[in-house]
Structure 1
């Protein structure tokens, strides 16, 4: 593999001149640029990214940590950040955290060690204190889908409680009084907040809270199927169910179909997220729209502005989910 010394020898210039050409220094002459570029092409030399970063003080990258890149929800998040990155001539470095504290910490530290000045972090495993510490270390760090009061101005989050409350109230408005809740079994703030929103809606409308109408499983279609089967096994009356996300709703729907229980004629279903799957289910799924694209774009723009220490009107924001009415909810008899 060719070295910078090999390039200097081939071009007939000093190592310092090669460095100036590589880092696009205005001090490099036109002749030096031509000879060095020709030598690099001939030798197949690729400048070391870390070496260039030491000169420019930046790697021109935005670091992103998500739970799992294979999840379409996080794919939408990453794509939105990438759009902002490209508009600002930046590239992405991506890490998976899997909602595990140690894995999230390692992913963040790897991005910091790779000189990412801007970081968009989706973390559910690390404590508030640990994330505040990272924020103090990296001025361009922004937290997405989580609200931490100490660094609220650097948090882009969703009001999960309100979203779940609105989903439950939509069922109540359609006459449903016996409403089940299918939750994620993950011990994260999203699942706690959405369950609390469901309970708050029932209390607000003076409906009884029955723990028998609660079921939890992994936040996947398989988990939703298992959770719905658990509810049916209890042999308790309910006419509707609010689901933690659209995938759990899809799984719940499949279980109901297996038991010849029609949706929405017998049981109405509400999802959450408004992912791509929601409008292709049969019946099409009523759900809460999670504005992840807008949230991720704002997080990326805020991260870049903070890294540059620019005055910006972009601030930490708590977004709201909006109701999407489709075909999986009907008025109860």
Structure 2
């Protein structure tokens, strides 16, 4: 049985209330001074190898966890960052979070991740909570904050990077995917396989990603001299049901669909299969994101892959540069790529 499990079991058997183990607890257990224990754990000052090993062994037995935040109050360095995500249930974000975590681990940083449910009020609360925890920097994902609110955040002296939003604010660094290019290559592919009546099923056209993917869609059509038909540009809820209901309205007028995301595209696929519409001969469908389910044989969705893992890594690398007092402003655009499967 490992040390941590032994420690937890001992607490249970003794009926001891769990609390943070302190340097004093270790010192009392060994009959040493707190200063000696502190020097042993930090390996600073004149102290024997035998004492260091003794203290470290007892610290492990007791389940001691160093309080990095308390250290940070003295050194102004806590080796922690905060990440704010709009919807942790969205299947595009696990890969993104993993990119941040892997990059942070290599640099010895811990990551606090908070969810804000696309609510500006919750986002502000999350920022305040992270700042009160003495994080060294912030990664704001799909932020709802206005330009003025971002300026106010900057005045608080904590470096931050904005991700998945094109921030037109001088001095603000961001990492984003080129949504115009993504919309363009999706529509261009549909045109290249012979489709001419191509619908765009989008979500929240007022939002930046949908607006830019629509712009790429329109660009590809104009290049081919295809007339723009507003009757097959449909705004819908960003969900399976949203895609399903949208294609219901227009399926007899189109031979191709570019959907805002994979979840909506899967709604389109289900409707088409229920109606006996042949894919991709009668209706070709392309999504956006390349979520894990899209590659399953039963789905086999052609899509535009967002480099979410790379986006997470770039977000952390950029934040590290800012935290190290680099004065440059970083504007990083990542290219999505077409993944061809069975639906287009």
TM-score by length of 1: 0.85
Which residue, out of 118, 138, 143, partners 1:99? Answer: 118
CA distance in 2, matches of 1:3, 1:124: 38
Q: Summarize deviations over 1:125-156 as a string: whole Å, max 9, x none.
A: 22233234324534531111112132566211
Deviations 1:236-261 (A, max 9, x none): 51111110011111111001111111
Q: 1:328 aligned to 2:337?
A: no
- Residue number in structure 2 paired with 1:189: 208
What is the rounded CA distance, in whole Å, between the counterparts of 1:299 and 1:124 in structure 2?
A: 14
Partner of 2:149: 130
1:52 aligns with 2:71: yes
Number of paired residues?
324
Q: Return 5+ residue gaps in structure 2 as ranges.
A: 1-18
Q: Whole-Å Cα distance in 2 between the matches of residues 261 and 211 of structure 1?
A: 23
Residues 162, 231 of structure 1: alpha-carbon distance in 2 compared, 3 angstrom cutoff: same
User: In the alignment, which of 291, 298, 309 is matched to residue 293 of structure 1?
Assistant: 309
Q: Distance in 2 between matches of 1:103 and 1:54?
A: 26
What residue is the counterpart of 1:82 in the other structure?
101
Structure 1 residues 127 and 144, CA, compared in 2 at 3 Å: closer, same or farther?
A: same
Q: Distance in 2 between matches of 1:187 and 1:97?
A: 19
Q: Identify which of 252, 264, 268 aligns with 1:252.
A: 268
Matches within 5 A, 1:201-280: 201-232=220-251, 236-280=252-296
Distance 1:311 1:152 in 2: 9
- Give the structure 2 partner of residue 68 of structure 1: 87
Task: Indicate yes or no: 2:165 matched with 1:146.
Answer: yes
User: 1:77 Cα deviation (Å)?
Assistant: 0.3
Q: Which stretch of structure 1 is more off in the superposition, 128-137 or 266-275?
A: 128-137
Alignment CA distance shift 1:16-1:304 (3 Å): same
Name the SS of the counterpart of 1:271 in structure 2: strand
Are residues 1:318 and 2:344 paired? no
* TM-score (normalised: structure 2): 0.83
Unaligned runs of 5+ in 1: none
CA RMSD across the alignment: 2.8
- My pick for the range that moved more, 269-278 or 87-96, is 269-278
Deviates more, 1:138-147 or 1:91-100: 138-147
Deviations 1:154-182 (A, max 9, x none): 21111212211221122223332211111
For 1:196 and 1:174, locate their aligned partners in 2 and report how far apart those are by CA, in whole Å. Answer: 21
